Amino acid sequence: MDYSIIRKYDIRGIVGKDLHISDGYEVGRKFGQVSGNICIGYDSRIHSPEIEKALIRGLTLSGANVIRIGLCSSPMLYAATKLTHAKIGIMVTASHNSSEYNGFKFFSNTKVFSEQEINKIIHSSIESSIKTGAIINVNIYDQYIKILKNTVESNAKGKIKIAWDCSNSPTSGIIRYIEDILPGHTHIVINNLIDGTFPLHNPDPTEEENLTYLINTVKEHGCDLGIALDGDGDRIRLIDNKGTIVSNDHLFMIFTREILEKHPRSKIIANIKISMKAHDFISQLGGQVITCATGHSLVKKKMIEENAHFAGELSGHFFFSDLGFDDGLYSAIKAINILLKAQQNLSDIVANLPKLYITNEVKIMSTEEKKFQIIESIKKTLEKQNIAFSDLDGIKVIASENKGWWILRASNTQNCITARCEGNTLEDFTLIKKMLYHYISQAELLNCSSSKENLPE
């Protein structure tokens, strides 16, 4: 097994290059030695069934009993792990990555798997087992649908038209029941055939090009809301009634306002890339903002440590304490509840939130090894220039007098460096963007290619 594909909180690589079908067997043999009962599921990628088969073989030969959920979304696997009281859940998935990728996500009801924990298990020696584990097939659909139905608030009145883009993911298997989960509304579903080649677009809703079909559907059918889900169903992106993409900074504010109305003065976890105006917004509402490094497992760990009621990431992972894990469909229903109670168009709700002077996330393509080297090199440059920065997650430089910030960090899930910046005013934004350009150029000199077209003028 190529150990370089062990990331901050999962295992992920290109099938046939640095990740192989046989890796499922090794993961199974190693993880099967640390738990008696393990819940497993797999996503719609074409290699997932083969990897799952190898994973099951490894788990059972190590003596672990397998609770097999089959084709499912990551939230379905998380729910199944809780409902069956399994110690560990393993999901065969590469989440939002393109079709050539695959990997493993790990879930536990008692802890969050870190890079160190995953490495410790994977590097352990294989011991002989005196027994072969059993395999139990479990259908989680009814229980999971019940969770979603119970999220719908009865006092949220009104009927709206909703467009859904399932990204050809396993969420398509649940969306067919959406009329039962959310009755009375008009539902228009696109990309709802389960297809691991992702024929129309990659399953990453943070990339605006992947939202084109959904935007066109919202406009064509006069929808009140568009909802995009990622490749394993744990992330969300919204389109408003005008066909405009809603920033996840704004969606984070919408969710936190609702949380703080129910739980005043609550702790809220925000990943390091979220807008500083979201921090100000939460503080003004009486909430306590705690910043966390990027990564859904890291955010979840911080949420548990701080006993927070809500956490969110720029990428669209949102965590509600009453559920306990990130779920795109659950977040979607929460957003629909808010929209119905507000009796306003989503565009009007967003218009009344703080105006943002902030970039989209920019990706600077690199290699797995070099992306970390580049970040370390730029850190040394900043130290020589006596420029203070936070190294909680990559490099984050905060301008004086709270005028804004910029960040460069190595992605946990892709071979790239991500960059973003924000200004308090348009003038501040223009200045800070120039600073960010300077260090993006330095990254290019360190043998990277970058894409600046996503930066607003």
Residues 327 and 62: their CA atoms lie apart, in Å, by 31
**Mean pLDDT along residues 413-423:** 89
Burial of 444 (0-12, 13-18, 19+ CB in 10 A): middle
Q: How far apart are CA 242 and CA 161, in angstroms?
A: 13
Cα–Cα dist 442/100, whole Å: 30
Q: Name the amino acid, one letter, at 105.
A: K
pLDDT in tens, 158-206: 899 999 999 999 999 999 999 999 999 999 999 989 999 999 999 999 9
E strand residue ranges, 182-295: 186-190, 225-229, 236-239, 267-271, 288-292
For the sheet with 186-190, list strands across it: 186-190, 161-165, 225-229, 236-239
Considering the entire predicted model, what is its pTM? 0.92
Domains for the chain: give ranges and CATH numbers.
3-139 (3.40.120.10), 145-353 (3.40.120.10), 357-450 (3.30.310.50)
> What average pLDDT is seen over the chain?
92
Place of tokens 């009281």: 85
Range of 104-113, 215-224, 447-456 with top mean pLDDT:
215-224
pLDDT beyond 60 at 457: no
CA distance 200 to 166: 11
Report the distance separating Cα 182 and Cα 189, nearest Å: 13
- Dig out the tokens for 85 from the structure: 């009281």
**Predicted local confidence at residue 447, as pLDDT:** 55
Distance, CA of 393 to CA of 237 (rounded, Å): 23
Tokens, residue 217: 């559907």
Backbone angles phi, psi at 73, to 5 degrees: -85, 165
Active site residue 366: no
CA dihedral 216, 219, 223, 228 (to 10 degrees): 30
Q: Pick the catalytic residue: 44, 73, 95, 331? A: 95
Interval 105-131: pLDDT, tens: 999 887 788 888 999 999 998 888 778
Sheet holding 267-271, edge to edge: 288-292, 267-271, 310-312, 318-320
